Amino acid sequence: MTRVDVAVEEAPHSAALPRLDKIDLVARALPAGLALAARLAVGPLPIDDAYITFRYARNLAEGLGFAYNPGERVLGTTTPLWTLLLASLHGLTDLDLPRLSLVLSALLDAGTTLLLLCLAGRLGLGHGWAVLVATLFALNPLSIAYATGGMESSLFTFLVVGEEAYAAAGPYLAPRLGPDTVVAMPEFGAFGYVTGARILDTVGLVSPRATRYYPLPSDFAEHNAVPPELIREERPDFLVGLERFLPEQLVGAEWFRRGYRSVASFEAPIWGSRMVVIYERVGTGREPPDE
């Protein structure tokens, strides 16, 4: 790709976030608060399988390895990611594993209510209906039972609903993509299928649509940032990412400001961000077809 050294003004966001008044903020926070309170009030009620995961997490946290019985390398848990999360947090808190899993699940379900508010808005539901949808999830007895049961259900739900934050950018990008268009983004799975684009994977999660595998930076967990050197080297046509994943070293760099422009954003309160932002490389000439 050829570098374009033409300064451009940043385009206005096509889906800028509205200013929220206090009533809106309270209404958005209500389902999240209900989700937390409902699950914490019930307390931990682990099912049998949860204790298998707890034992793996405890052994891992105590330096005995990812094993049910120390020294025996057998994978006996069906939730390795959940196990890693529990193990990582177990050494940082005084909570026992059943209660730790409950607190983590309650927080994840609270986050899911915020994502449901966004998703309901994208589907055209009014503010009141969106709050109702999120509240119904927050107080759903089955969801509460799963959260108190010690397993990974809350994490899975959060990730599935959170993927919509990226999938929502698909309708905007789809008419602007050509057969050789490359989209750079932290790939969470569905985006490549939604847009049909070739994905330049920026965080090392392999996708069937990936054009290049870029190893996960050793400091990614600390900085949660798209590597500026990757974008500068590859010059993708579009860069899509949560605002917190787009560091100032990238979006504030002179070469980036001269070669890319912000063209759209979509509300996405996930992983500590407020929105998904889309940047387009200057000079791509990708315009949507006439409707």
Q: Which two tokens stand for residue 52?
A: 């298998």
Alpha-carbon distance of 49 to 198, in angstroms, equals: 39
Instruction: Return the pLDDT at 141.
Output: 93
Amino acid at 98: P
Helix axes 153-162, 80-90, angle to 10 degrees: 110
Q: What is the DSSP letter of 236?
A: -
Q: Are 185 and 196 in contact (CB under 8 A)?
A: no
pLDDT tens-digit series, residues 126-184: 778 888 888 999 999 999 999 999 999 998 888 777 666 566 676 777 778 777 778 77
pLDDT tens by residue, 74-111: 888 888 889 988 998 888 887 899 999 999 999 999 98
pLDDT in tens, 195-212: 455 556 554 443 444 444
Q: For residue range 18-32, what is the model confidence (pLDDT) as tens digits?
A: 344 566 667 778 899
The position carrying tokens 């010690």 is 150
Q: Are 267 and 118 in contact (CB under 8 A)?
A: yes
CA-based nearest residue to 85, from 141, 34, 158: 158
**Which residues have CB under 8 Å from 254's CB, separation 6+?**
none
Entry pTM: 0.58
